[in-house]
């Protein structure tokens, strides 16, 4: 008797292990037949070499003992759905060809819909990670009234201070030219007047080596507040940096700190935290990578243009003094700045 093997499960085994009752898949691969009796035919050495499978419906199959054949698997495990809230009911197909048992889950309770169960077993969404807000740069407060008192008040009017500086150096052409321009009247709202005062203070210190006279003139600018105009503030900034250096050279550390606080005060007036952080980054980058006019100075040296070289070195000196008033940077320390400033002073005074 043969059977149609559609949708059956088979297992493979060697032909030498066939036994009576096995449902053997026939060579056509479409039908199965029950084995009624198994015999072995030995080879010339006496070892079983051929299996003679006598089928129930009649006929005999000759199979090599080492060949692999397929046998109908009549033991299929029951498949269950692991769910503690649902009772599993095994249902067996009673049709003649059925050889497997399937498990059909009972209908979920009405009070627990399917989508609710899926939501319970669904993995939780990962928590949103919010990065910490970057630290806001510390705001620097301006000098107190007690600290401002360390800056001496000018003796007389601003014009009188300039005139006294000119009288102290009657042979200095640069000082006399600047003094003549300022003698007409000093307007602290004028950017050109502020520039002339700053140039006069630098001329007194750098060329004439008169730190006291330079500091007296510079103090006319040092007490001016920041008015939001970068052009006018550049002259005040240069004057504050020069004054800080002069005081530190003269060991007036407390007075130098007052000038440095005044110099840095406009840098911390931004109230918006984001803009304050951006300004701090830009400012630190400018301190780490200052423009020291190396190319311009080398070009002037190559062209033997000593006047142009001196002008570029004066600009480099201003940049170095500005860095010194900030306490150096991440790339240039205070000691290195002091050495470079001394070199530039020697070069421009030669």
Question: What are the pLDDT digits (tens) for 289-320?
Answer: 999 999 999 999 999 999 999 999 999 999 99
> Is pTM, for the whole model, over 0.85?
no
Structural domain contains residue 240: yes
CB atoms near residue 112 (< 10 Å) = 12
Q: How far apart are CA 58 and CA 61, in angstroms?
A: 10
Q: How far apart are CA 198 and CA 105, in angstroms?
A: 93
Domain boundary among 40, 72, 104: 72
CB atoms near residue 154 (< 10 Å) = 15
CATH number of the domain to which 28 belongs: 2.30.30.30
Among residues 70, 80, 72, the alpha carbon closest in space to that of 97 is found at: 72
Least confident of 118-122, 270-274, 336-340: 118-122
Q: How far apart are CA 212 and CA 252, in angstroms?
A: 12
Region class of 291: left (phi > 0), else alpha (psi between -120 and 50), else beta: beta
Structural domain contains residue 249: yes
Q: Between helices 173-183 and 191-202, what is the axis angle to 10°?
A: 150
Q: How far apart are CA 349 and CA 208, in angstroms?
A: 9
Whether residues 62 and 164 share a domain: the answer is: no
The residue range of the domain holding 240 is 158-269
Structural domain contains residue 59: yes
Q: Are 183 and 159 in contact (CB under 8 A)?
A: yes
Which residue has better confidence, 322 or 5? 322
Domain boundary among 269, 304, 328: 269
Identify the pLDDT of residue 138.
54
**Which residues have a Cβ under 8 Å from the Cβ of 141 and sit 6 or more positions away?**
261
Structural domain contains residue 51: yes
227-260 tens-digit pLDDT: 888 899 999 999 999 999 999 999 999 999 999 9
Structural domain contains residue 54: yes
Q: How far apart are CA 272 and CA 276, in angstroms?
A: 6
Domain boundary among 269, 297, 319: 269
Structural domain contains residue 185: yes
| pLDDT band of 143, cuts 50, 70, 90 | confident
Whether residues 63 and 163 share a domain: the answer is: no
Structural domain contains residue 327: no
Structural domain contains residue 53: yes
Structural domain tally of the chain?
Answer: 2
Average pLDDT over residues 140-167: 89
Whether residues 265 and 162 share a domain: the answer is: yes
End-to-end CA distance of the chain: 123
Q: How far apart are CA 139 and CA 141, in angstroms?
A: 6
């Amino acid at each position: 008797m043969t059977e149609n093997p559609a949708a059956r499960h088979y297992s493979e085994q060697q032909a030498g292990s066939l036994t009576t009752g096995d449902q053997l898949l026939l060579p056509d691969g479409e039908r199965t037949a029950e084995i009624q009796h198994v015999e072995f035919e030995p080879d010339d050495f006496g070892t079983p070499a051929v299996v003679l499978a006598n089928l129930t419906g009649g006929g005999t199959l000759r199979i090599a003992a080492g060949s692999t054949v397929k046998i109908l698997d009549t033991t299929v495990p029951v498949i269950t759905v692991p769910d503690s809230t649902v009772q599993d009911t095994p249902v067996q197909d009673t049709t003649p060809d059925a050889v497997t048992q399937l498990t059909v889950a009972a209908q979920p309770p009405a009070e627990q819909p399917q989508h609710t169960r899926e939501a319970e077993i669904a993995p939780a969404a990962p928590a949103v990670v919010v990065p910490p807000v970057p630290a806001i740069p510390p705001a620097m407060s301006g000098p107190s009234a007690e600290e401002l008192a360390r800056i001496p008040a000018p003796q007389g009017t601003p014009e009188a201070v300039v005139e006294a500086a000119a009288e102290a150096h009657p042979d200095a052409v640069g000082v006399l030219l600047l003094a003549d321009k300022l003698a007409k009247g000093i307007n602290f709202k004028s950017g050109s007047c502020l520039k002339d005062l700053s140039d006069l203070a630098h001329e007194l210190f750098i060329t004439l080596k008169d730190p006291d006279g330079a500091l007296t003139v510079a103090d006319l600018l040092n007490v001016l507040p920041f008015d939001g105009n970068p052009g006018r503030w550049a002259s005040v900034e240069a004057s504050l940096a020069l004054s800080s250096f002069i005081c530190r050279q003269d060991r007036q550390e407390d007075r130098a700190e007052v000038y440095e606080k005044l110099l840095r005060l406009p840098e911390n007036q931004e109230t918006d935290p984001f803009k304050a952080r951006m300004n701090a980054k830009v400012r630190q980058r400018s301190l780490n990578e200052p423009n020291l006019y190396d190319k311009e100075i080398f070009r002037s040296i190559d062209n033997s243009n000593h006047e142009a070289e001196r002008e570029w070195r004066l600009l480099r000196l201003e940049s170095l003094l500005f860095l010194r008033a900030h306490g150096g940077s991440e790339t240039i320390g205070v000691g290195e700045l002091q050495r470079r400033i001394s070199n530039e002073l020697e070069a421009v005074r030669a």
